[in-house]
Amino acid sequence: MTKSFDFSPAAIAQLAHADVARALAEDVGTGDLTAGLIAPDQGASAHVLARENAVVCGQAWVQAAILALDPQAHIRWHVQDGGRCEANQVVFEVQGRAQALLTAERTALNFLQLLSAVATKTATYVAVVAGTRAAIVDTRKTLPGLRLAQKYAVRCGGGTNHRIGLYDAVLIKENHIAAAGGIAQVLQQAAKMAKEADFVEIEVETLEQLAQALDAGARMVLLDNMSVPHLHEAVRMNAAKANPAILEISGGVTLNGLRALAETGVDRISIGTLTKDVQATDYSMRFETLAGTPA
């Protein structure tokens, strides 16, 4: 839905390069004192194992980390981004200079474990709503500096991106409505001021507010913390309109209640926990051989 980032392979590679540059500067600083114990011309071969079932994500970041330190390293992936791996499966193999691989290991795995965790969690939520019209959507509740990376991971898990930031779409919440003087007033202002926005969405908390928003011409409405019976009524009210709005659910969404929410007939369910409450996927790098200068 967003136009502010295209998520093409080239754009992802560029994003990963920038993210990794910051991460390596943070970790390596003036040099890796421990890797310095290894001869500079020592070669190495290693593989990375997944310790649990997961949806893999982070290939560009792994490659950026390793190739930044050894441009001649060779990486062979067994599972691509968006693909599923099983516990104890080899996700990728790498050959290169031992020093470089040892220094890059933690940065590469940090990105791989975080982004795979987001993709895996998203895929779990997507599976629960399968067969309904509801899309699983992320939010702005992301790790500072890693928003685009996490939103890419949501896509790898089968989810949908909400707005990227405050600059590309309008999401009118209760404080905006209060400051503007009401639902109709704030929507009128948005129509004048936000013509370049990807979309304009307004948040409502009651069926009365929904009726006001729909009467004012809202094209996208966020139903905040509504009960399942109220959501069914909201869908019915919206369907009765000649030009129905896109309806989105937000607030208090849990995996246990997710299917019931999706079966109300809403279009989207936005979930902050996809990116803010994730448990890192467990990966481990193991060196297989250390033999001479890498080819």
Q: What is the pLDDT of residues 220-257, one digit of tens each?
A: 999 999 999 999 999 999 999 999 999 999 998 999 99
Q: Which residue has the higher pLDDT, 4 or 93?
A: 93
Q: Which positions ≥6 away from 197 have C-beta within 8 Å?
A: 168, 169, 170, 190
Averaged over 85-107, what is the pLDDT?
97
Look at strands 43-50 and 170-172 and give their pairing: unpaired
pLDDT of residue 3: 56
Residue ranges of the domains in the chain? 9-126+279-289, 131-276
Respond yes or no: is residue 141 known to be catalytic: yes
- If you count them, how many residues does the chain have? 295
H and E: helices and strands count for the chain: 10, 12
pLDDT digit string, tens, across residues 151-182: 999 999 999 999 999 999 999 999 999 998 99
pLDDT of residue 194: 75
Q: Which has the minimum average pLDDT: 4-8, 15-19, 213-217, 289-293?
A: 289-293
Domain 131-276, CATH among 3.40.50.720, 3.40.50.1110, 3.20.20.70, 3.30.43.10: 3.20.20.70
Confidence class for position 130, pLDDT limits 50, 70, 90: very high
Cβ atoms of 97 and 287 within 8 Å: the answer is no
State the residue for tokens 């839905």.
1
Closest CA to 284 of 77, 91, 36: 91
Look at strands 246-250 and 90-97 and give their pairing: unpaired
Q: Which positions ≥6 away from 286 have C-beta within 8 Å?
A: 46, 47, 48, 49
Q: Which has the minimum average pLDDT: 45-49, 110-114, 163-167?
A: 163-167
Superfamily of segment(s) 9-126+279-289: Quinolinate phosphoribosyl transferase, N-terminal domain (3.90.1170.20)
Averaged over 109-120, what is the pLDDT?
98
Catalytic member of 224, 233, 263, 282:
224
Catalytic member of 173, 219, 259, 276:
173
Within 10 angstroms of residue 206's Cβ, the number of other Cβ atoms is 13
Catalytic member of 105, 203, 248, 267:
203
Cβ atoms of 199 and 218 within 8 Å: the answer is no
Phi/psi at 12 (5° precision): -65, -40
Angle at which helix 228-239 crosses helix 207-215, to 10 degrees, equals 20
Above 50 in pLDDT, residue 1?
no
Above 80 in pLDDT, residue 273?
yes
Catalytic member of 52, 84, 93, 106:
106
State the residue for tokens 């693909």.
83
Confidence class for position 2, pLDDT limits 50, 70, 90: very low
Which percentage of the chain shows pLDDT scores above 90? 88
Catalytic member of 84, 93, 140, 141:
141
Cβ atoms of 278 and 122 within 8 Å: the answer is no
- Token digits for 34? 């421990």
pTM, whole model, 2 decimals?
A: 0.93
Burial of residue 205 (CB within 10 Å: 0-12, 13-18, 19+) is middle
Q: What is the DSSP letter of 36?
A: G
Q: What's the chain's average pLDDT?
A: 94
Respond yes or no: is residue 203 known to be catalytic: yes
Above 80 in pLDDT, residue 188?
yes
Above 90 in pLDDT, residue 66?
yes
Look at strands 43-50 and 283-289 and give their pairing: antiparallel
Respond yes or no: is residue 205 known to be catalytic: no
